């Protein structure tokens, strides 16, 4: 039952047991008695699990909000490394907020619109959503709105459209919260501190930060930096602006989330393919995986692999690109510019 939360597991078990009891009622006395004993055993186990969960929540002083399951895993490991795991609850969205529609995302209609788009353009993300129920937007909205005032809320982000859109969405959901909300912007921390070990460009993705450096960020800044009330209101307002747009692609430019045309990355895709083909001298087709990696590195924009793949296949369908191999994972096929 991977992907199910405590509530879903308990409900599923109870439904199965109720079915078993109904079936046993049509059988002998021993069958019915065995089913009832099993039901009581599961009920007792569910009560124990619920009690343990309540005890855990009493110990937790901080609720950390982050915008991907992989980053959530890294954060949990780092919190354990610095001795802060027991007092921390980590809540993770399972979305790429820089791609796909977000109009009216706080409503059921908006969420359905996004799911339909994902089903048509990003089946991988759609499938991931269906198996990770507790991280779905609807459930996360409910969870964020019920965070007790007594808990310290810390939102983790970097300077990219995905995290910054997620930050504004989370702050909008927390708008009724009276206590300050704390933020850890890892890109800004690395720019303003001596933690960055290499002197290259500052990472704009949390996953690009070296493990030791990330652990030190969690150790020093794990409580977050209180967000100024005026800035908090501005971010809430910016979310309403974003939520009113119909863009399916967003970039981070000059300190703002910018809605872009759907084909904004097409020119970069073609440029990258041409440059990689030129590097091969022979002009042979190049691995799609190499194209994806180069695009993310050059653009420094957080865009899902699947969105870039969607645009690649659009360009193939238009006859601008050609491909060889098995459509599917990027390492299974190669692409190149179509010859006139």
Residue 293 has pLDDT above 60, yes or no: yes
What is the CATH architecture of 266-337?
Orthogonal Bundle (1.10)
pLDDT, position 276 = 94
d(CA 63, CA 185): 16
pLDDT, position 331 = 83
**Mean pLDDT taken over the chain:** 87
Buried-exposed string 98-115: b where 16+ CB fall within 10 A, e elsewhere: bbbbbbebbeeebbebbb
Higher pLDDT, 279 or 165: 165
d(CA 282, CA 285): 9
Pairing of strands 62-66, 88-92: parallel
d(CA 287, CA 273): 9
**Cβ-Cβ contacts under 8 Å for 188 (sequence gap 6 or more):** 159
pLDDT, position 49 = 52
Residue 3 has pLDDT above 50, yes or no: no
pLDDT above 70: percentage of residues in the chain: 82
d(CA 179, CA 161): 26
Mean pLDDT along residues 181-199 = 88
174, 287, 312 from 337: Cα distances, Å: 48, 13, 11
Backbone angles phi, psi at 306, to 5 degrees: -65, -30
pLDDT, position 68 = 94
Following DSSP, what letter does each residue of 50-69 receive, concatenated?
HHHHHHHHHH--EEEEES-H
Mean pLDDT along residues 174-184 = 97
By CB atoms closer than 10 A (0-12, 13-18, 19+), residue 229 is exposed
Reading the block at residue 28, the tokens are 């002998």
């Amino acid at each position: 039952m991977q992907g199910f939360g405590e509530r879903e597991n308990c409900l599923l078990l109870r439904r199965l047991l109720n079915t078993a009891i109904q079936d046993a009622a049509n059988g002998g006395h021993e069958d019915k008695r065995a089913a009832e004993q099993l039901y009581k055993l599961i009920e007792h186990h569910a009560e124990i699990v619920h009690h343990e969960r309540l005890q855990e929540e009493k110990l937790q002083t901080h609720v950390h909000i982050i915008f991907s399951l992989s980053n959530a895993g890294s954060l949990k490991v780092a919190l354990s490394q610095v001795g802060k795991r027991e007092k921390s609850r980590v809540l993770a969205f399972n979305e790429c907020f820089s791609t796909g529609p977000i109009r009216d995302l706080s409503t059921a209609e908006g969420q359905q619109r996004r799911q339909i788009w994902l089903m048509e353009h990003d089946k991988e993300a759609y499938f991931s959503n269906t198996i990770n129920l507790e991280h779905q937007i609807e459930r996360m909205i409910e969870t964020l709105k019920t965070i007790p005032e007594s808990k310290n809320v810390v939102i983790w982000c970097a300077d990219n459209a995905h995290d910054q859109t997620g930050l504004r969405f989370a702050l909008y959901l927390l708008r009724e919260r009276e206590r300050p909300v704390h933020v850890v912007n890892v890109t800004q921390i690395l720019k303003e501190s001596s933690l960055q070990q290499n002197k290259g460009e500052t990472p704009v993705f949390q996953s690009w930060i070296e493990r030791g450096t990330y652990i030190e960020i969690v150790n020093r800044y794990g409580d977050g930096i209180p967000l100024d009330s005026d800035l908090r209101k501005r971010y809430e307002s910016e979310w309403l602006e974003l939520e009113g747009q119909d863009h399916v692609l967003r970039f981070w430019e000059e300190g703002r989330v910018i809605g872009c045309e759907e084909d904004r990355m097409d020119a970069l895709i073609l440029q990258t393919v041409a440059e990689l083909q030129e590097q091969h001298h022979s002009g042979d087709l190049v691995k799609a995986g190499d194209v994806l990696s180069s695009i993310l590195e050059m653009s420094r924009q957080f865009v899902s692999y699947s969105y870039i793949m969607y645009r690649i296949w659009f360009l193939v369908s238009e006859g601008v690109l050609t491909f060889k191999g098995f459509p599917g994972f990027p390492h299974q096929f190669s692409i190149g510019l179509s010859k006139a």
